[in-house]
Structure 1
Amino acid sequence: MRKTSKKETKTEFTSKPTKNLTNKSSLSSRKTLWIGITAIVLSVGYSFFLISCSQKENAEQADTSTNNVSLATYVGSKQCQSCHAEQQTQWNSSHHAQAIQEANAQTVLGNFNKATFRYNTIQSRFYKKGNDYFIETDGPDGKLTEYKVSYTFGVYPLQQYLVQFPGGRMQAIPIAWDSRKKEEGGQRWFHMYPDEKIDFKDQLHWTGPYQNWNMMCAECHSTALKKNWDPEQKAYHTEWKELSVGCESCHGPASGHIEWSKAASKETDAKKGFAFSLRSGWSSDWQFADNAPIAHRVKGPNPAIENVCAACHARSSQLTDGWNASPADEFTQHHNPAVLTEPLFWATGEQHDEVYVWNTFHASKMYANGVTCVDCHNAHTGKLLASDNSLCGRCHSPAVFDTPKHHFHQAATAGASCVSCHMPTRTYMGVDERRDHSFQVPRPDLSMTTQSPNACVSCHTAKNNQWAAKALDKWYGNEWRQRPHWANTFHQASSGKPNADQALMTLAKDTKQSAIVRASSLSLLRREARPEVIALAQLLMQDAAPKVRSEAVKLLETVEPGERWRLANALLDDANRMVRMETVAILADMPAEQLNDTDRQRWGRALGEYEQSLRLHSDFPSNSSQLGVLYLRQQRWNEARSWLLKAIELDRKFEAGYVNLADYYRLTKNDVLAVETLNKGLEFVPKGADLRYALALAYVRLGDVNQALPLLKEAIRLSPDNVQYAYVYAVALHDKAGPLQGIAALKQALEHLPNNGDLLSLLVEWLIETRNFAEARSYSEQYAGLYPNDPAIARWKQMIP
């Protein structure tokens, strides 16, 4: 099971003010600002709990699913053995085949010989009764309880154990068995969260939703799985065609293939009875040109290979259920991949959180030049085709690259290994080292500016980035520093630097970049209804890459509903499911009665698809909440309240759930219940900054600014990077205690956020208002350096003597 982080249990939500928070063109408009701020709608943004990019920039926009796929049926991996004995033998040894197994003497690796393990105050026991395996550990009430192990989960370098719970749930015990050799530190029990105190009250306790196999893991650890979540019964009716990851997980249902194998003539079907082919030929597809140090593809890669692998080896959210009946469909027809932004990824695009492989690989030069997973990995064992530099040497001439003249390390040492420099490892789940697949050249210069890691100092831990950069200068000259990279742009944008916008827009339009990098740049762009942003959205909503289109349409979030519909409604008919869903999320508040009959039908089809996806995966609290927010925006009040309550029932510590439910009460004119809801949320999430902010706004609507001010101040302390909190707090102080108090609050906020344009703009306005012209001039010059084309600058010059 993927190790969930605490950050993931808090779904990000965006605020949608009824008025612009920063009207830089008119000082008098500030008087209405506070009223506008109190009417903020807090909503969960369209991003599922999990989050992974389109197959290629020139990927086909049409749905690649085949017409006959629904006619094929599953036959099971055992049916393959008689004709494919070699492949079956290889698969039997693979981690895929052992992804989940019934617990028995052959599959259980852990020590159940009356072993014990202490975590914080809980001592767990591992033992057998006859042929069954048991674990005694803390249950949902914190008391020691005996649980029978039903299944093993994984095999190497660790193995977890699954316990059956009521409602069809299977939960993963957090104490795992380290299956590595003893000399490697293995053959021991260890806890998945060794440095945290996870007890039965915690969101990440093993009996809770975020350690649930059905929700978090089952999709990729079984064949043809359907989760079958029932939101009314709050129960799973999960079913699968094969318990573990079988042949048909990748090849699709095989009944047609069996029929083909029995036919007298087989030459007529290049796909051999399957819905698609997974053909790959490394030796024939890659060749060296005369004297070229790197091989090149002479035949394009098979996109089905990447689509099949991406579904489970990418950080993504699932859009459909039972998608693997046709696993070679274009990836974004059934998954929404995560973009390369912090904190999931470093600014360089390398892995940070547990993001698997595909996202980083998609941004690599390897992918751009046609490398596929099976060029390096045996598809049936999952193992590398070679274990040393000879693997890389198949495409990169050893005479040029596998030599001290290239890597400047002693031969046969770790530093001479290609992967040490170009695929550094990061450890997940306590013991699982995984190599980064962005295949980047170490850039200590970027590490200095973005705090991203690099292979040099990760290995030479006693040295620093300056030392590493000087070493590279000595070996390669200074040219390596000049290689273009998006890292600084991404880091500046993530840090809230407004001058990053132009670089982001340039990057997004650069078709030489990978689709996932371009999409990531769009995701970082400030969503303001500026002409240049709208123009960019219009351009890139027609891009060939689905992930670029889906991020482009989200740029229209702050545009007025009618104009938003005019600009984006064509994407409701997009060939790609992910794009259609993102479009629905953006257009959700468009009144259907204002549409003509044709558009109303188009809207209804797309909306139904979006709702179905959210319902299928409404076991995620964030998805239930998103359904509630959708219905809020459509003024479907009863449905909105029902789904918002479901989100909180699924996770009592789901902060955004309380905020969105409180907003339901605000919109239905019941601020008293909004306050009660937010205070209840604080009982479960006592450090909730968003809860305090929403509660402060609720008190303001009730006319109690005195209650609001300390809540805003505490929200800022808990979340000092949140510009909106600082802005609203300053406005509240200004209106309650006078402009000098508001000015002091803005200055204090700018100590932490020195280059924020919204705070600077408001500060200049107030300094002019109080006739503090010297400071107004100084701050206006600082602002001009960030927004040189803002018309407010010229007006300020006229007002400042």
Structure 2
Amino acid sequence: MTLKIFFGMALACLMLGTAGFAQTPHGVDVPDYVGSEACKDCHTEAYDAWKTSHHGEAWRMPGDDSFVGAFEGESFEHDGMRATFDRDGDSYVVTVREKDGVEARYDMHSVGGVHPLEHPILSTGKGRLQSFDVVWDVAQREWYHLYPDQDLPPEDAFHWTGVYKNWNSRCAECHATGFEKSYDFQTRRYASTQVEIGVGCEACHGPGAAHLTLVEGAKPEPFAVALDDWGFTATMSEPTEAMEQCAGCHSRREGFGNGNPLPGAAFADNYNLAMLRPGLYHADGQILDEVYVYGSFLQSKMSQKGVTCANCHEPHSAEVVAEGNAVCTQCHSLAGNTEFESLRLADYEDVAHTNHPEGTDAAQCVSCHMVDKVYMGTDPRRDHSFRVPRPDLSDTLDSPNACITCHDDQSNAWAAGKVQEWFPEGRWQEPHYGEVLAKGRANPRAAAGDLLGLAQDNTQSNLVRATALWLLGPGATSLDLKELGAFLENEDPQIRVGALNALRARAVVATAPYLLQGLNDEVRAVRLAAARAIMSQRPDRLPDRLRAALGQAYREFGMVVQNQMDFAEAHLQVAGYSMVSGNLPSAIAALSEAVRLNPQNPQAWSSLIRMTAQVEGARAAQKRMRQALAYNPDDPGLQQLAEQF
């Protein structure tokens, strides 16, 4: 099967190339980027604050200020692998002997991050930049392994040379300005570019050429995109737009484009925000995996009341606006804050509230309301949902709580008793959405009514409501179709996306009007959800009005997935839709690419083997089986399937 017929006739529109949905809207004129250095003479204070910030140094070239004390011939060994760090003139070189004995020498292209760790980004050929698993602890001045408990041989997709550690596709977009990934599926090469490495001024404000023209007294040429009064594409003074600009990187999401969207573009036109799904969040919405803040913050009462990132963080330095509790007491105090008049006025620093000695770490607001979790071995990230500790739910939901995080010698029941003692009328008595989400994760059919009720509760955050709809799955079959369809009128695109996911479980004849409504939505994330819902149905079962829209659905999906062809997940989607349409050769080709990218996926191998047997015969299937078992020798499903061949 050649790559030229990879998608088959049913998905031929995906072969249109990457021009359909690139960094900026296709065919739209935008100002040029000018680089952050052009800003410093007029915006000195902002520039100086930004220059040494984590944004300004998010990605940089190596120099005397990086890896201080390293690259002096030291070696690091772990699980049979040895890395040696040297200099060769001005070049930084890493020699890696893998656990299989193969040794190779790599040039370090650049450095990811600045504190608390510095991440070597190595060139491995074909334009690929890979995030090395051995990183530099800035404070301890020593090398350490990011994943010391994982067995990651060279053939594993999560090995540092694998697809999940590829800097071009997994990291660079949020560490650069004006980044374009530019992956060529036919050659499997990257030709990535960026205007500036590091998150520069224009990463948030937008291209600056029109702004410079304005301040120099000339009239800027007309552009097809809307510019603010200062000549930028992003109006950072508008709270919602500013929040969404931060969210583009500070969120767990699926990106639609070839790189950075044009600053100022709506989040949901460029990304699909992850729901509060298992593996990312605990059932009650607390952080589990790295989710980068936005999805947590959207759960908070603060978000619902209009608080934004800039209320707590200085935009250019990204540091908090005050020290310690003063960040919180600028609003949560006896004085309050006139911007948020619904706040209850109280002395939240009083021992009567904290129940911990004044001046201690335990009396810090963040210790109870923003519990942190360490990622990447040494980097603590705080949960931004600003939640009331609920140890009374921890045993039921298998979720953490702030109390036991510190008092790890005590039980959840002990902590729940303390909270009840201190706050007899407190919010711990209220129902929590996590209880419904946990039921929905376990059994969406049994929890269907509760999930619908949660989705309809407009006192809850929109992300929680959207997640309730997303969890419904087969549970949606027992619910009133009009009640589900009504969510497509909601102003939040995330809720509309959740509703379309719920509607996938219903008979397509009945849901056709809602799917068409979603397919013609003004927001790309919603249109994509509708397209996926339509494409998941057998074409011969579609009513005429949906069959006529099938090409439109393919185009919506195609313009997104063509920018994801270095993701195994994209090929799995293509395979699924090919199977639904009955195009098994196309499905086989898609699955072949999926297991090439991630050979540790037994389910994909299983489907590939079965379809290969059906299309190409038993001998070809046996060859696939040997390949699958070489990568997954202990998988019981594959072992059982092998008995059939």
Structure 2 contact 578–587 (Cα < 8 Å) conserved:
yes
1:653–1:684 CA contact under 8 A, matched in 2: yes
Q: Is the 8 A contact 1:388 1:417 kept in 2?
A: yes
* Percent of residue pairs bearing the same amino acid type: 31
| Cα distance, 1:594–1:370 mapped onto 2, change above 3 Å | closer
- TM-score normalised to the size of structure 2? 0.87
CA displacement, residues 150-189 of structure 1 (integer Å, 9 cap, x when unaligned):
2111111111101111111011111110112xxxxx2211
Query: Residues 449 and 479 of structure 2 are in contact (CA less than 8 Å); yes or no, is this contact kept in structure 1?
Result: no
Aligned-partner Cα distance in 2 for 1:233–1:639: 19
Q: Within the alignment, does 1:379 sit opposite 2:311 as a pair?
A: no
- Write out per-residue CA displacement over residues 260-282 of structure 1, whole angstroms, 9 at most, x where no aligned residue: 2123799x985311123111xxx
Deviation at 1:109, TM superposition (A): 3.5
1:511-536 residue CA offsets vs partner (Å, 9 max, x unmatched): 22111101111222242562416444
Q: Matches of 1:672 and 1:530 in 2, distance apart?
A: 42
Instruction: Note the 1:690-729 alignment, pairs <5 A.
Output: 691=638, 695=641, 699=644
For residue 214 of structure 1, the aligned residue among 146, 168, 175 is 168
SS in 1 for 2:64: coil
Counterpart CA distance in 1 for 2:288 and 2:569 is: 23
- Structure 1 unaligned segments of length 5 or more: list them: 1-64, 181-185, 280-300, 700-706, 708-801
- After superposition, give the CA deviation of every residue in 1:752-777 in whole Å (9 maximum; x if it has no partner): xxxxxxxxxxxxxxxxxxxxxxxxxx
**Whole-Å Cα distance in 1 between the matches of residues 627 and 181 of structure 2?**
32
Choose from 149, 159, 165 the match for 2:118.
Answer: 159
- Give the alignment of 1:85-124 within 5 angstroms: 85-109=44-68, 111-124=70-83
2:202 to 242, 248, 254: 248
- Letter of the 1:568 counterpart: L
> Out of 132, 135, 138, which is 2:97 matched to?
138
Contact 2:447–2:475 (8 Å) recurs in 1: no
Match of 1:353 in 2: 289
Give 1:230's aligned residue: 184
| Post-superposition offset of 1:239 | 1.1
Match for residue 284 of structure 1?
A: none
Q: What is the one-letter code of the residue matched to 1:278?
A: M
Contact preservation (8 Å) 2:156, 2:599: no
Could you say if the C-alpha distance between residues 678 and 122 of structure 1 is closer, same or farther in structure 2, counting changes exceeding 3 Å?
Answer: closer
CA drift at 1:632: 2.6
Preserved CA contact (<8 Å) 2:284 2:434: yes
Q: Which amino acid aligns with 1:238?
A: S
Q: Quote the Cα distance in structure 2 between the aligned partners of 1:625 and 1:208.
A: 17
> Which residue does the alignment assign to 1:643?
590
Q: Which runs of 5+ in 2 are unaligned?
A: 1-23, 221-225, 335-345
Tell me whether 1:580 sits opposite 2:527 in the alignment: yes
Query: 1:173 is matched with which residue?
Result: 132
Provide Cα deviations, 1:95-138, integer angstroms capped at 9, x if missing partner.
Answer: 11111111222333451222121212233222222222222223
Aligned to 2:565: 618
Q: What amino acid is the match of 1:358? A: Y
Aligned counterpart in structure 1 of residue 504 of structure 2, from 545, 548, 557 = 557
Compared CA separation, residues 339 and 382, structure 1 to 2 (3 A): same
Tell me if structure 2 keeps the 8 A contact 1:323–1:334.
no
Name the CA distance, whole Å, in 2 between partners of 1:497 and 1:528.
Answer: 5
- Aligned partners of 1:539, 1:220: CA distance in 2, in Å? 36
* CA distance in structure 2 between the partners assigned to 1:407 and 1:66 by the alignment: 51
1:83 pairs, out of 39, 42, 53, with: 42
Aligned to 2:271: 335
Displacement, 1:67?
Answer: 11
What corresponds to 2:575 in structure 1? Answer: 628
Shift of 1:370: 0.5
1:450 Cα deviation from its structure 2 partner? 1.0
Q: Does 1:391 align with 2:316?
A: no
SS at match of 1:159: strand
* Greater helix share, structure number: 1
Structure 1 position 232, deviation (Å): 1.1
Task: Supply the distance in 2 between the matched residues of 1:112 and 1:594 (Cα, whole angstroms).
Answer: 62
Tell me whether 144-153 or 416-425 shows the greater mean CA deviation: 144-153
Asked whether the 8 Å contact 2:444–2:475 carries over to 1, the reply is: no
Say if 2:545 is the partner of 1:591: no
Q: Which amino acid aligns with 1:591?
A: P
Residue 305 (structure 1) aligned with residue 242 (structure 2): yes
CA distance in 2, matches of 1:392, 1:544: 30
Q: TM-score, normalised by structure 1?
A: 0.71
Aligned to 1:318: 255
Mapped to 2, the partners of 1:172 and 1:78 lie a distance apart of 27
Return closer, same or farther for 1:689/1:571 CA change in 2, 3 Å cut-off: farther
- Tell me if structure 2 keeps the 8 A contact 1:100–1:244: yes
Judged with a 3 Å threshold, the aligned counterparts in structure 2 of structure 1 residues 135 and 669 are, in CA distance, closer, same or farther, namely closer
**Residue 148 (str. 1) matches residue 107 (str. 2):** yes
Conserved in 2, the CA contact under 8 Å of 1:629 and 1:660? no
Name which one, 1 or 2, has greater alpha-carbon Rg: 1
3-state DSSP class of the match of 1:554? helix
Give the distance between the partners of 1:653 and 1:91, measured in 2 at CA: 41
d(CA) in 2 for partners of 1:534 and 1:208? 44
Q: Assess if the C-alpha contact under 8 Å between 1:572 and 1:603 holds in 2.
A: no
Structure 2 partner of 1:274? 232
AA in 1 matched with 2:230: K
AA paired with 1:244?
Answer: G
8 Å contact 1:108–1:152 — kept in the other structure? Answer: no
SS at match of 1:504: helix
Please provide the CA RMSD for this pair: 2.8
Residue 248 to residue 638, structure 1, CA distance change in 2 (3 Å): same
Secondary structure of 1:530's partner? Answer: helix
Task: State the distance in 2 between where 1:655 and 1:237 align.
Answer: 31
Q: Which residue type is aligned with residue 539 of structure 2?
A: P
Q: Which amino acid aligns with 2:88?
A: K
Give the partner amino acid of 1:308: Q
Contact 2:571 2:594 (8 Å CA) reproduced:
yes
| Contact 2:67–2:138 (CA under 8 A) maintained in structure 1 | no
CA contact 1:534–1:555 (8 Å) conserved in 2: no
CA drift of 1:464 comes to 1.5
Superposed CA deviations along residues 210-229 of structure 1, whole A, max 9, x for unmatched, are: 11101210111111111111
